[in-house]
A and B are shown apart, each in its own frame.
Chain A
Amino acid sequence: MLQDYLIPETVEQALSHLQGGKGRARVVAGGTDLLLDLANGKKEAGVLVDLTRIPGLQEITLEDDLIRLGAAVTHNQVAKSKLIQEKASVLARAARSVGSLQIRNTATVVGNVVNAQPAADAAVALVALGAVAEVVSPSGKEYIPVEKLYAGVGKSVLDSTSQIVTRIQFPALLKNQGSAYERLEQRKALALPMLNVAVVVSLADNRFQWARIVMAPVGPGPVRATEAEAILTGADVSLGNIENAAAAARAQANPRSSALRGSREYRLEVLPVLVRRALEAAVVRAGGNC
């Protein structure tokens, strides 16, 4: 049962509130998932420690080609940010597709990662961008790739009763790089993704230097299509290579049949189409042509 709601003004204060709670105090930001989980008894907390008023954590910054999002940055802030639209468009698109406008005005992107749902849109895009979380705890600060934060469906490796993700950072895309986001959904708002695919490519002389392809929900967290990425690395930009990569992504995916998200068979048919579309769009944005 919730006994207190605290709004610290510094990260140090937030950490000491957590320590004082001895495992009963828990971090909250937007709270759009957590408050429901508390009401349903899926999670427990005696004290909530709200990070959203800590100065600096509401900002999206660019420094030395590194984009950083504070823990209080909302989905709508990211979706509307010129910087994100220009230098990480995959994330702007993904953030735009979460919930409704009211949810996007409240829910934070860092929360989308920490809540560890397998197909959380912003998290899928962040994995494609190679994002890293800045994690602060009483023992110090560490940087953990977003991709490594998943311990199972809805389970993060992070402990929200002692650790705080203060920021998430990733490199701004360069001129020869492009990104794209594709989503299969039943409606255009308030709909969970049946499938989502985030892609970032880097090109030189109309060849792929590398590609990062992330798909969900086809596993416990966002899944890298590593076979497809390997096919593209060093390969010419061509429709044939993109088709091969899409087929390899399908071979690596393991979706379940779900009443909410569609059957395994259906989604396995659609997945390579989304991967192909995303790769084609990302290539165009990187200045390449098929």
Chain B
Amino acid sequence: MSSKILTFTLNGETIRVVVEPTDMLADVLRDKLNLIGVKKGCGQGECGACTVIMNGDAVTSCIIPALKAEGAVVETIEGIGGPGKYHPLQESFMDLGAIQCGFCTPGMIMSAKALLDKNEQPTREEIREAISGNICRCTGYVKIEKAVSTAAEKIREGK
């Protein structure tokens, strides 16, 4: 097997990492780069827990070959904010209790961020479409939808 060096932009930083052709992006992010906010649920692109933003679009990183990310710009939950300076989406999810077990939350937030990056005034339908590929088995969708629209308001007010 021929290992290769993957070069890409991860959360604003240029990263070079040795990967195998069989590696999926989610595994590289978790196991080689220690970004364990990227959750791996189904491993088949169905549950959305591994969602990251690649070149502006939400994608399921568990079925993206790592080498497909060559030259790409990738964002994970770790890159958008954290203690001290949370992203409005992270804040709203906490403030409104849009979290139960939390396993779907990073993917849910990244799907929502991909939407809000392009559309600061999404309709309810647009929010639903954006998170339709993220499954929450605690079934907290109502609060999640509210958290996304609240974050959108905050982002608009912050301008």
A102 surroundings in chain B (CB, below 8 A): 45, 48, 51, 58-60, 111, 133
Q: What are 25 contact pairs spanning A and B, CB under 8 A?
A: A2-B22, A3-B2, A5-B4, A5-B65, A5-B68, A28-B65, A31-B65, A35-B24, A36-B45, A48-B21, A48-B65, A50-B65, A52-B68, A100-B46, A100-B132, A100-B133, A100-B134, A101-B58, A101-B129, A101-B133, A102-B111, A106-B45, A189-B132, A190-B132, A190-B135
A188 at the interface (CB under 8 A from B): yes
Task: Give the docked Cα–Cα distance between A50 and B72 (Å).
Answer: 15
A205 at the interface (CB under 8 A from B): no
B155 at the interface (CB under 8 A from A): no
Interface size counted on chain A using CB atoms at 8 A: 25
Given contact pairs A105-B58, A106-B60, A4 touches B2 in the complex (Cβ within 8 A)? yes
Question: Apart from A50-B68, A190-B46, what 19 extra A-B contacts exist at CB < 8 Å?
Answer: A1-B22, A4-B21, A35-B65, A36-B44, A36-B45, A36-B63, A100-B46, A101-B58, A102-B48, A102-B51, A102-B58, A105-B57, A106-B60, A106-B63, A106-B64, A188-B132, A189-B129, A189-B132, A190-B133
Q: Are B63 and A101 interface neighbours, CB within 8 A?
A: no
Residue of A nearest to B1 (CB): A3
Query: Shortest beta-carbon distance, A189 to chain B, in Å?
Result: 4
Interface residues of B in 127-145 (CB under 8 A from A): 129-130, 132-135
Interface residues of A in 1-33 (CB under 8 A from B): 1-5, 7, 28, 31-32
A residues with CB within 8 A of B: 1-5, 7, 28, 31-32, 35-36, 48, 50, 52, 76, 99-103, 105-106, 188-190
B148 at the interface (CB under 8 A from A): no
Query: Shortest beta-carbon distance, B59 to chain A, in Å?
Result: 5
Q: Are B48 and A100 interface neighbours, CB within 8 A?
A: yes
Task: Give the docked Cα–Cα distance between A31 and B51 (Å).
Answer: 16
B46 surroundings in chain A (CB, below 8 A): 100, 190
A35: contacting residue among B1, B63, B135, CB under 8 A: B63
